[in-house]
Structure 1
Amino acid sequence: DSHKEIRNAISGPDGKLYFIPYVPDGKFSRGWFIRQDWLDKLGLKQPETPEEVYEVLKAFRDKDPNGNGLKDEVPYFAREEIDAVRLINLWDARVSGSERYGDFAVYDGQLRHPWAEENYKTGISNVAKWYKEGLIDKEIFTRGARSREYLLGNNLGGMTHDWFASTSTYNDALSPKIDGFALKPMLPPKTVSGQRFEDSRRLRVQPVGWAISATNEHPVETIKYFDFWFSQQGRILSNFGVEGLTYEMVDGKPQFKKEVLDNKDPVNAQLWAVGAAIPRGYWMDYEYERQWTNKIALEGIDMYEKCNCLKDEFMGVSLNAEEKATFDRYWPSILTYMTEMQQTWILGAQDVDTGWDAYKKRLTALGYDEVIKMMQSAYDRQYKAAQ
């Protein structure tokens, strides 16, 4: 009742609740990171505009910042597809309307897909140009989850967009191995229109949780059990594990034990081992993560908090049977086509500027307009009617 936007997001098309989700806490997930030691060596500052980003990436490509005499630097790289395409933000495009890759987005109360917008065409056109010029990892769509480990570990990667907590740990891991290594968070560069925004945030409602089955003979007791995990005691148990085993109470607040924080296994893995921090229906407490997030990441998160440039996310809609039928009929093939064309354009197999009109016509033929009309109706019912 005290989190109306969450209630709206988890309500069914009839306004009732059928599912209790895992609800994250905190705002920020990913941010921009750059090799500050490379900038310093080349006498450059952190880029503030698309033009400055371009010049910095060219300098990383051409001026041997890793000092090995080889032109082997990879100026921009990313582990995940959503961040491989994130550079389109520089041209006021959106890579997604939420943390889910390729999601719908809200534009002044209107629901559309960001990959059908004119700014997207401009963004893809420029990213394709940068890719062709060698400013973007040639294997950005294929290198996979270990690209960060490989490119940073071999002193090759210059700039990326990734999770604050895990990315910042490379400073601790690589500083002893690479002289002067400094991978620092930076604010999102301003766009061509002068905006500064970050559109990667923690999902406020995760698509994981629990529900009561139709065959449950004790629904009242089950609801009481669900309620427990949203109480103060249940929230501590979910986030911090077992008192005396994984945490101690210090000044009335749970504090992870030193042997947990210093353990070779990640804190979340240790919690999973005792049944805590499992993505079921509970409310995360960001303090659980803050305690094992290093200083560099916390400084980056604080910088983004002060920037106040985080875009609101699209929190999803609950579709009725008719809407679901429309979605299932059209959307999977539309998304597949959009994703294929995105990579086709970036990799240079086709030109987005000359192919854009045909692309838009193909979206219409695949049922894009019907999907948007249906999604807007569901969005209005779920959010605007509840305001």
Structure 2
Amino acid sequence: MVRKKVMAMVLAAVVSVSALAGCGNTAANSDQGAADTGTGEAAAASNESGDESKENITVSMFLQDSADQAISTDLPIIKEITKRTGVNFEFVPAPNTEDQFREKFNVTVASGDIPDIMVSTYRDDMMKVAEQGTFAVLNDYIDQYAPNLKKILDENPEYIRDLRASDGNIYFMPFIGAVRTFKVWMLRGDWLEKLGLDVPVTLDDWYNVLKAFKEQDPNGNGEADEIPYTTRNTQAGVLAFMEAFGISGFEANEQFFIEDGKVKYAYTDPRCKDALEFINKLYNEGLIDPEYATNDTNVWLSRLTNEISGSCQDTTARAYALGTQVASANEGSDAYFVVVAPPKGPDGTQMTTSQMQPVRGYTAISADSPYIKEIVQLFDYFYSEEGSLLMNFGIEGETYTMENGVPTYTDIIAKDEQGRSILSMLNIYGHREWAYKQDIGYEDALLDKTYVDYRNEMEEYIRPTIPALSFTEDEREVINSTYTEIQTYKDEMINKFIMGKEPLDNFDKFVQTLKDMGIDDVLAVEQAAYDRYIR
């Protein structure tokens, strides 16, 4: 899916002769290694002709599109990329919803007509396809043609572990995020002031604050209509309280966690029962949203903007925006949200596993593409200082200017007349999240200083989650044949425990059923993959 253009190619081959630590065999280390990876000979040939003039190329790229603006070669940032690199694009856009994106990804792979470049945030999907031989092994190409990425990987070897497949090879160039903090705890600061309440610290404090929000009419309408805590994250939104009991599990990728070198499952841990008792108490007393299991973003937002709810767990950016949204919807309102530390549990535990992983996206190259080297060079440019500015801030003089050495978004991006966000405006200009390294300044520009400080302060409470693991085909078969059914049963029972439809006296029976369904087999697979990861 490539076609040549008749112009001189701008990309020049950049050769780095040192080996990439942990990236498997290289041509310098082993002739057999080059044969095994299928890249040694191709990389050497590319190196020999690297300084020669090349024709412009057009590459096809499969990627998740933005709801703000359909991807197009006419968008300013895309045009600027082509201008600087000589690489033209044929985009194969995929839907921006998870289910539809993954369906199109699978259909595209099954067709055998693989675009030159495929971009996805779904690691296991990409790993499975890579190990079937669909994507090019990039070990040697990164060594020889990606000096900027190689430097990042050398300085951050944990990124290599996240990228490495179970066969030991690297098939992807990563999108690397800048911020760790993800979801934070927030409350209406003006409600706390009105009711003379301190910021809650312990679970008991949270119970008392939510009780006051429920009973003391903080919205001032004279009605007992408050729903103190709401969520748009369905079950996960109320299971956030689990963390005060020392276990993670309220997000799908955190239900397995590491403790003393062992992989554990949150819902068979005895502490889960203690957490459910507390959450059930909140539910029974009307302190958490009775419709948490079905809420979507619109319902959640209406609870907050209509001043029915005054607390939730969500992103720092949401905390920043919510005060303005609530105040705008209610004349004379002085609404604002404060971000607070995670609730401290009975044994003093105060932590969160909610975090954004450094490696958040995966860019792969078709094994059949004739332009593997050139595509590696293209994306390596985005890890350079100049390329990073383009990917994070756009086009100098148009979407940003340099002020005292700091890139600063122009009004066309930061102060859109239609009220669209900075991220939305960048997407409209052609920004997309493929392989590059995010700049912290990009994130900071989305918030004012108070909320940047909130976000940074919350990092001290983050506890590492289980890393991104790579599974063999046999291990995937165990997970695929067992875990979906376990998840369905677990979700149903957890909701029943929270809502009181199933007595918590039956928790041990619930755990035994999970074991009968094969959770121990899944744990064994996770443990084996984790043991490989840390070696």
For the aligned pair, the TM-score class normalised by the smaller chain equals over 0.9
Kindly state the Cα deviation for residue 311 of structure 1 after the two structures are TM-superposed: 0.7
The amino acid that maps onto 2:186 is F
Name the structure 1 match of 2:427: 272
Which AA in structure 2 matches 1:39?
L
Give TM-score, length-normalised by structure 1.
0.93
Kindly tell me: are residues 48 and 195 of structure 1, through their superposed partners in 2, closer, same or farther at Cα, counting changes over 3 Å?
A: same
Question: Aligned with 1:162: secondary structure?
Answer: strand
Contact 2:248 2:255 in 1 (8 A): no
Secondary structure at the counterpart of residue 461 of structure 2: coil
Match of residue 409 from structure 2 = 256
Cα contact 1:246–1:256 (8 A) shared by 2 = yes
Matched, 1:359 2:510: yes
Which of residues 311, 314, 326 in structure 2 aligns to 1:159? 311
The equivalent of 1:127 in structure 2 is: 279
Deviations 1:210-264 (A, max 9, x none): 2011211121112112211211222211111111221112233321112311112
What is the correspondence of 1:1-387 to structure 2 with a 5 Å cutoff?
1-81=154-234, 82-96=236-250, 100=252, 103-175=255-327, 177-206=331-360, 208-263=361-416, 264-276=419-431, 278-305=432-459, 308-351=460-503, 353-382=504-533, 384-385=534-535
Secondary structure at the counterpart of residue 407 of structure 2? strand
The code of the aligned residue for 2:340 comes to M
Cα distance in 2 for partners of 1:374, 1:88 equals 25
- Structure 2 distance, partners of 1:146, 1:286, is 29
Structure 1 residues 111-146: Cα deviation after superposition (integer angstroms, max 9, x where no partner): 122122111111012201210110111111212112
Higher alpha-carbon deviation: 73-82 or 168-177: 168-177
For residue 480 of structure 2, give the secondary structure of its aligned residue in structure 1.
helix
Deviation, structure 1 residue 200: 1.2
Percent sequence identity over aligned pairs: 28
AA paired with 2:440? Y
Would you say the 8 A contact 2:179–2:443 is kept in 1? no
The alpha-carbon distance between structure 1 residues 20 and 337, as it changes in their structure 2 partners (threshold 3 A), is farther
Give the Cα–Cα distance (whole angstroms) in 2 for the partners of residues 122 and 221 of structure 1: 56
Measure, in 2, the Cα distance between the counterparts of 1:178 and 1:160: 23
Where 2:358 maps in the other structure, the secondary structure is coil
Shift of 1:310: 1.1
What is the CA–CA distance in structure 2 between the aligned matches of 1:124 and 1:65, rounded to whole Å?
28
Deviation string, structure 1 residues 24-73 (Cα, Å, up to 9, x no partner)? 11121211111122122222111111111111111111111111111101
| Cα RMSD after superposing both structures | 1.7
The answer to whether the 8 A contact 1:165-1:294 is kept is: no
Contact 2:276 2:497 in 1 (8 A): yes
Shift of 1:286: 2.0
Change in CA separation of 1:26 and 1:19 when aligned onto 2, cut-off 3 Å: same
Q: 1 CA distance for matches of 2:206 and 2:353?
A: 18
8 Å contact from structure 2 (residues 175, 438) kept in 1: yes
Cα deviation digits, residues 315-351 of structure 1 (max 9, x gap): 2201111111111111111122212211121122112
Contact 1:155/1:178 (<8 A) preserved: no
Whole-Å separation in 2 of the counterparts to 1:328 and 1:301:
36
Superposition deviation, residue 102 in structure 1: 5.0
Q: Structure 1 counterpart of 2:520, which letter?
A: D
Which whole-Å deviations, capped at 9, do the CAs of 1:172-210 have from their partners, x for residues lacking one?
23335353312211111211111221221112222x332
Deviation at 1:375, TM superposition (A): 0.9
- Superposed displacement of residue 370, structure 1: 0.9
SS in 2 for 1:343: helix
Deviation at 1:294, TM superposition (A): 2.3
Distance in 2 separating the partners of 1:93 and 1:86: 10
Tell me, yes or no, if the aligned pair for 2:228 and 2:310 is still in contact at 8 Å.
yes
Residue pair 2:327, 2:335 contacting (<8 A) in 1 also:
yes
**Alignment partners' CA distance in 2, 1:83 and 1:143:** 10
Which consecutive unaligned segments of at least 5 residues does structure 2 have?
1-153
CA distance 1:116–1:302, shift in 2 (3 Å): same
| Whole-angstrom distance in 1 between the partners of 2:225 and 2:424 | 36
Of the structure 1 ranges 70-79 and 80-89, higher mean CA displacement relative to structure 2 is found in: 80-89
* Contiguous gaps of at least 5 residues in structure 1: none
- Asked whether the equivalents of residues 79 and 143 of structure 1 are also in contact (C-alpha less than 8 Å), the reply is yes
Structure 1: how far apart are the matches of 2:422 and 2:225? Answer: 35
The structural deviation recorded for 1:76 is: 0.9
Separation in 1, partners of 2:307, 2:450: 19
Deviations 1:253-292 (A, max 9, x none): 321112311112111111112221x222221112102112
The CA distance in 1 between the partners of 2:507 and 2:311, in whole Å, is 29
Between 44-53 and 196-205, the greater mean CA deviation after superposition? 196-205
Which has the larger Rg?
2
Q: CA–CA distance in 1 between the matches of 2:285 and 2:242?
A: 16
Query: How far apart in 2 are the matches of 1:38 and 1:274?
Result: 40
Letter in 2 for 1:302: N
C-alpha separation in 2, matches of 1:100 and 1:242: 37
Provide, for residues 148-187 of structure 1, a one-character-per-residue CA deviation record: whole Å limited to 9, x for no partner: 4211211111211110012221222333535331221111
- Asked if the contact 2:248/2:254 (under 8 Å) is kept, the reply is no
TM-score (norm 2): 0.68
SS at match of 1:249: strand
Distance (whole Å) between structure 2 residues aligned to residue 259 and residue 18 of structure 1: 38
